[in-house]
Structure formats: structure tokens, C-alpha cells
Chain A
Amino acid sequence: MSTATLLDDPHLKARFGELKPALTAQAAVIEADRCLNCFDAPCTAACPTHIDVPGFIKRIASGNLRGSAMRILDANILGGSCARVCPVDVLCEGACVLLRQNHKPIQIALLQRHAIDAFWATGETPPAKAPGTKKLRVACIGGGPASLACAAELCRAGAKATIIERRELPGGLNTYGVAEYKLRAADSVREVEMIRQLGVEFRCGVEVDSAAAIEKLEAEFDFVFLGLGLGAMQRLNVPGEDTKGVMNALELIAAYKTGHLRELHGTVVVVGAGNTAIDAANAARRLGAAIVYMLYRRSEQEMSAFEFEYEHAKQEGVQFLWRRLPLAIRPEAHGRLLLETVQVRQADGKLEVVPDSAATIDCDLVVPAIGQSPLTELLQELRGVEVRDGRIVADRETGQTGNPRYFAGGDCVNGGREVVDAVAGGKRAAMAMLKTAEVAHA
């Protein structure tokens, strides 16, 4: 695996300085002391992986950083990236009881990062049973958070797990798709390294795309975990979409994170108003675009992005064009584009074009960001794995699919949530597989 492109790029670092810098050791202890140590804490309950939040925080307060990190990693092996990318306002910090006391929740994410960073700095690996202690071999397809969590859980329990990833680097969206000012690709890769140390095998650059490939996997492994994520970004379905100068949000994010896109200029139009759209718009600003518009067919009140993301985008200087629809993209001289748009309004639950509202935006880049489409190609090959509304149907508690040898978790099951949801899904599936194997061998 080559990480050369990800190492300390000063240009990237300068443009994408961390949104929330790490706490100093002293600040961490002060913050940790503030935690009330609630019983059956709401922050823990709100976390999809149920990290023992007061438990790890009070270990920081008493100067037991290793114990703190272990407490986090036992619940969530991706605690390092979750500390950086979780929308904590609607999770642990949003559940903090101090919100009701003085409106200042504990900075749980920063404390979690403090503990994990200290652990990473020691170079230590969380304890794991010797590989092969359990006679169980699992293939995890997809190298994102769900598979990483699943494989890590399996290896820590002594089973064998292999991650099969089609890209060069594992980590999925953690490596390629999260805004760099939240989670640096290098940090994602470092976290993946820790998981490799647990004994997880990685096969990168390998596509599982045929019946033959699946047959081979079924022969080699006892179970298969599907951590496939979602498919490609949705298309706008407007004329001119394949013109040079149109680049979807995930392509844009991956391109700048891997150093392939270093500079933007002029005007950029992001179409969509979700969290990924905002990541792309902010990135465009930081890469040098003078004007960045976000174009959304609905209103401010209906945008799906988190409130704090919207606030952040406004601070970055992103401008919003509400209730506007793209109609066509036309190439212009000097590589510029003309984006034809029209105003729409809500009428009887449908969008209706406002007469005489056409406007053409002169721009340099159009970034479709209207969500990812479901993955369907591979799934058609899997016998018994049911797909409904583009999502794999899996048991909520175990992640087991209609084919008992197949488990699934993460975006391909939940339709697209957060890293922490994927970790929780992967972990639950791993525990279910371990239990199933135990019963089988008993």
C-alpha cells in the first residue's frame, strides 16, 4: 500500500487547517474534570457504538490515558476518526446533560481524540487474541469503516478476517471522502495501520465483480461481510453533464485529498445541500474559488445538512441559491461553463417552474452533490441477499442477510449514515458471526 501521496503535504495542510485543533494536555484534564460522570450516561446511549464516555473521560482526568484509549477502542476501533468526523451535536454532545445546566456540553469529541492520539503516539496496538484461536475465517468486502470495524472485532477475538478493497488504500470514505479539515487522510491511514496490526489481512486493488470471484470467496471463507458502502454519486440528468469541468463532490474531495487537485479559481457551483455538498463547497473555497454557490431545489428549511455544517459553510463564504434547479450545462470559451437554471416553487407537493425565472450562471466548475446511488451490480450475483430500495435487507441486531453466510453493515444497509453507524453495524455483525461459529463448533 502506498501512502506516499498522503504524507505531509504542506500545501494541503495550509489550505485545510484543522477545524477543531487538539486539546492541550492541561485543557483536556480541565475539561475531563467538568464531566459529571452521569450514571448510565445519555452520551453513551446516544453513541451508536455505545462508547463508555464518562468512563474514558474520568480516566483522562486521573491521568490514565492508556486506559482511556482502551476503553474507547474496545467499543469503537475507529474511535480516532469518529472523534474527528462524528456530528457530535446530534450524538453524544447533543445528549450531554450539561446542556440543560449551563448550555456547555463536555467536549467529548476532543477528549476522545486526546486519548486516542496519545495512544497512537505510543505505537502500541490494542490487545488481540492470537490469530486462529477461533476457527472462523471471514471476508469483508469493502474497506470502509463497517468492514474495518467488523474485521477488527473478529481479529481481536482470535478469528481471521480479510478485507477486500477495490481502491489502492483502505479506509473508504474516511480516507477518500471526509473533508480534510475534519479528518486527514493520513490519520485515516494511520488508523487502518493499527487495524492491520491486529492481524487483519488487506487485499487492496481487488474488485469482487463476478460470479466466479464470489464463488472463490465462498470457498475460502466461512462468512462474508458486505461493507460495500453506496454506489457512485447520483447524476443530475441534465444535458452537458459529461462536459469537462463537471466533477461530482466525492471526486472533488478524493482528488484534493490525494493531491491530484491543488487549486481552483473563479466560480464553482455545487448542486445539492447535504453534508457532502457542504464539504465540497467548503473545499472549493479553500482551494481558491472566489465564488462558491450551493444550488438547491428546495428551501433552507428543508436542506438535509446538519445545522452546524450549514453554519460552517456560511462562515467559509459559501453562498446559497435556494429553490433553483439546474437545467443544462454548456461549455464556454477558455474552459468555462454556463449553467442554465430556473427558479422553482412548491405546488401541491410538487416542484413547479416559476415563469420567466431562467438565469444562467457563468462558472468554472459544476459539482453535482445530490447523493450516492445504491450499489446494485454486485448484489444481483449474491443468492439470497435481498435488496430493497437500494439497501441490503439485514437483521437489525446481527446484520445477517437472507443468505445466512452473508452479513452486512454500514451505508449499504442503512442507506447512508455516519462513520459511527457503520462501525456499530460492522461490530454487531462480527459479534453475531462469532456467536454463530461458536454454536456451530460446540
Chain B
Amino acid sequence: MPDIGVRNFAGKINCPNPFWLASAPPTNTGEMIMRAFDAGWGGAVWKTIGEPVVNVSSRYSATDWNGQRIMGFNNIELISDRTVEQNLTEMAEVKKRYPRNAVIASLMVASNREAWHEIVARAEDAGADGLELNFGCPHGMSERGMGSAVGQVPEYAEMITAWVKEKASTPVLVKLTPNISDIRTVARAAKRGGADGLSAINTINSITGIDLDTFVPRPNVDGKSSHGGYCGPAVKPIALNMVQQIMADPEAALPLSGIGGIGSWRDAAEFMLLGCGTVQVCTAVMHYGYRIVEYMAEGLDNWMREKGFKTIDDFRGLSVNRVTEWKHLNLNYKIVAHIDEQKCIGCDLCHIACWDGAHQCIHLDRVSGPIDGHVELHRTPAEEQTASLASIAETPVTRKEREAAFAQGPYPTPLARIPRVDETECVGCNLCSCVCPVEGCITMVRVDKDVPPETWEQRTKGAA
């Protein structure tokens, strides 16, 4: 029976599971956070507390893709618009009622030592289990010298972290902005400043789109917009890369709370494989509500059971060292695409993708027999389409005609529409398997035999 509980994260944060709500609208109030804990969330990072702000309307916009809502999400909302007093009174109430759940106070105040000392003391008095320094907010607050204005300058980040550490008795997490050329520089600075952990990534500067009738970018605030912070499923790959960069760097690596497009247990497991001890979720909750934590906790538990992991630490970080520099990759590793004729449905997307986006080695020539040769031997996609359009088709109106039209060949798809991979030309790029809509139809098969591995670094050693 796996245990998904979190023990002594960043020194001393404990909670029943690694799923935290990120500092954001879902953690606006004590009432909301208590409902989230009832739903099963292990922890919550309170919506950033500081001098109350005034927000605009509207505040959000989204990127939809092919009918899927909120592939990416963007906000121009600022930190809490409620007073420090209100937030901390509620925090004390939450901690009293939910002692087992982690409550982290996200903080952002003006860049002076006294202000930070004061807010740290007040948050810890309210019962916060840890502090998260918001050095990441990319909009609004940065114009006032806070948020990413701090997070983009390693010296400032180090200095403020150190101020906080002078006062704090609970773990201090620094939340990092991705809006910087190398996220490790600030992660290292935070570590030098004494941070106990990190949270990454904050949102990415974005304009999600422009209304083609009014020409106003979204979100529209009275005819104008402002760049926002991008999050949601679209940013996950960017976040994973930054998480890996941090965890692979000994000068930066710290207990890490992963953030960025996490909406399922699969996403969470991936962040953990790259070293995260907890994960934070916002967009998926804003889309579907607190209830999703149930699927996440159950899914992670089932996966751990299947893999034989007893605790999160059993697999945390297993993939960090599977990322290396390109020059260390094996040049002799060779795979080629294999199409399962029984599964192929004949969309021929692999064919056109290979011709127009790759190396012209998937052909529609099965009926003419195997031809292993250079691409010039084959008809081009344009020639194939021209031939189709020139063909004469008729409605099969009699039973006999219908039987002929839908006659079954050796495979479910007519032979002429099942593409063939020219393995001598295939470079094993994966494109076809990425576009194939059928699970398990195109697989990449290893074909290198008895060739010892050789990297670019090895091959060019001493060359220049």
C-alpha cells in the first residue's frame, strides 16, 4: 500500500499528500481553502499577502485549441485585494481546524528589510507552516518593484531571501519566475540567501490572442490589454525543462515544489520524477474545481502501486539524470518507424507529415510492391491528389456494387491506403508516430545491432 504523504518537505513541512493549491484565486480566502482541504488537497499556498491591491475587470483570457477549452490560461490579476489582517485572521482559523494540512503563506511586500521582517512574523504568528516569497508575479506588481522585478535580479532575490531567513522559523520557499534567460541564476541566488526550498515556475509573460473584430488583445480592459502571466497545460513542457535545470544543478537544487500546467496525476508524477517533492495546481482547479484532487491522489497511488513504489521518495528525481546535454547522446542508436497494418485506419497523415515535414520515406506504394529506393521513385503527394481527383467515382447503388466498394482486403484498411515505411531512408525522427491518431499503430523499432555507442563528444574528441 503506497503512502503518498509528504514528510519534512523543505525541512519541516508535513501534509497528507503532495498536492497543493498554488497561490492564486483558488486560495483567496480561508473559506475556500477549507473547502479545498475537505475535497482532499494536501496543502495550500495562500493567495499572495501584502499591501491590498485594486484589480481590473476583466482579468483572464485563454487559449483554446481544436475545441478544447483552456489549453493555456492567462491572468492579469494582482496579489490579494484583502488586508493582511483579514488574510492572517482566516489563516489562523484554517490552521486551527485543519492542523494536518500544510498552509503556506505567500508573501510580497516592498523591498525593505523591516517590511519583510514584519510580514514574516505576522504570518508565522498566524500559524503558517511555511513561507513562499513571491518573486515571480510578472504583471502589475513588477512595475512597482516587486514580484518578478525581484526575481529577475539574482542579487535582489538573494538579499531579500536573506532578510526573510533572519526572521523566519518556518521553511522559506522562493517562487521563481521563468521570465529570465536562465532560471538557475536566481535559484542559485535563493540558495545562497538561505532558502529552504523553491517553487517553480511562476507564469510566463503572454498575450493570449487578439479579438479579430475589435483588434483588442485579450483580456480586454476597456479597449486595452496588458501582458499577463501564462499557465495551464500549454506551459507544462517549459516548466518541466526549468525544473530539470534546477534539480540538475548542485548550486541551485533545493526541495522543489513543482508548478506549471499540472492537472492530472500523470503530470504530477512527471514533475516528481524530475525531483519535485510537492506539486502546485491552479489552472486545472480554476477550470474544474477542487474535486480534481481526488483523481490525482488516486491515480498517483495506483501508479505507485503498479510500479512498486512505497513512498514518493522512492521515485522522486529518477529522471533528472536521464536528461543530458545533446553531445552525450548516442549517435549510433537507430530506430525506424513501423506501421501496424491491422491497426492503420488509412488517414495517411504519417505519409504527408513525412513528405512535407520530415524525410520523404513513408510511401503509398504498397500495391505496387516493395520498392526500397530513393524518393524520386515515388509519386509526390500532389501527384497522388491529382490522380484521385481525376478518378471517376460512382455511388454504388446496387447490392453488388456496394459489396465491391466495401470489400474487405487482408487488413481493415484498403492496402493502397496503408503507408509503407522505407526503412533505409527513415531517420527515426518520431514525427509519424506523433501524428498517428491510432494508439499503438506506429511504433519506433530499434534496428542498430552490435554497434557500440558513440556520442558527438567522443566522435569529435581531438578534432578541433
Using a CB–CB cutoff of 8 Å, the interface residues on chain A facing chain B are 29-30, 33-34, 36-40, 42, 44-48, 50, 61, 86-87, 90-91, 94, 97-98, 100-101, 302, 304, 396-397, 414, 416-418, 420-421, 424, 428
Residues facing A in B375-406 (CB within 8 A) are 381, 384-385, 388-389, 391-399, 402, 405-406
Q: Which residue of B lies closest to A302 (CB)?
A: B399
Count of chain B residues with a beta carbon within 8 Å of a chain A beta carbon:
32
Contact A101 B395 (CB under 8 A): no
Known A36-B349, A39-B347; contact A47-B393, beta-carbon cutoff 8 A: yes
- Name the one of B351, B352, B406 contacting A94, with C-beta atoms under 8 angstroms: B406
Please indicate the chain B residues that have their CB under 8 angstroms from the CB of A418 in the complex. 395, 397
B452 within 8 A of A: no
Contact A61 B66 (CB under 8 A): yes
Which of B394, B395, B399, B405 gathers the greatest number of chain A CB atoms within 10 Å?
Answer: B395
Contact A44 B397 (CB under 8 A): no
Q: Which residue of B lies closest to A87 (CB)?
A: B395
Please indicate the chain A residues that have their CB under 8 angstroms from the CB of B373 in the complex. none
CA distance A47 to B396 in the complex (A): 11
Known A100-B413, A101-B438, A417-B394; contact A38-B402, beta-carbon cutoff 8 A: no
B67 within 8 A of A: yes
Minimum Cβ distance to chain B for residue A109 (Å): 13
Please indicate the chain A residues that have their CB under 8 angstroms from the CB of B349 in the complex. 36-39
CA distance A424 to B390 in the complex (A): 12
- Name the one of B67, B381, B402 contacting A40, with C-beta atoms under 8 angstroms: B381
Q: Which residue of A lies closest to B353 (CB)?
A: A39
Please indicate the chain B residues that have their CB under 8 angstroms from the CB of A90 in the complex. 395-396, 402, 405-406
Contact B385 A40 (CB under 8 A): yes
Minimum Cβ distance to chain B for residue A81 (Å): 14
Q: Which residue of B lies closest to A50 (CB)?
A: B389
Contact B395 A48 (CB under 8 A): yes
Per DSSP, are chain B's interface residues mostly helix, strand or loop, or mixed? loop
Please indicate the chain B residues that have their CB under 8 angstroms from the CB of A40 in the complex. 348, 364, 381, 384-385, 388
CA distance A396 to B398 in the complex (A): 19
A-B contact count (CB 8 A): 84
Please indicate the chain B residues that have their CB under 8 angstroms from the CB of A101 in the complex. 345, 437-438
CA distance A302 to B399 in the complex (A): 8
Please indicate the chain A residues that have their CB under 8 angstroms from the CB of B352 in the complex. 39
Q: Which residue of B lies closest to A45 (CB)?
A: B388
Would you list the 5 A-B pairs with minimal beta carbon distance, nearest first? A33-B67, A39-B352, A100-B345, A39-B348, A97-B345
Please indicate the chain B residues that have their CB under 8 angstroms from the CB of A61 in the complex. 66-67
Given known contacts A40-B384, A42-B346, A304-B398, what 14 new A-B pairs fall within 8 Å (CB)?
A: A30-B67, A38-B346, A38-B349, A44-B388, A45-B391, A48-B395, A50-B388, A61-B67, A91-B395, A100-B412, A101-B345, A302-B399, A304-B399, A417-B395
CA distance A50 to B413 in the complex (A): 20
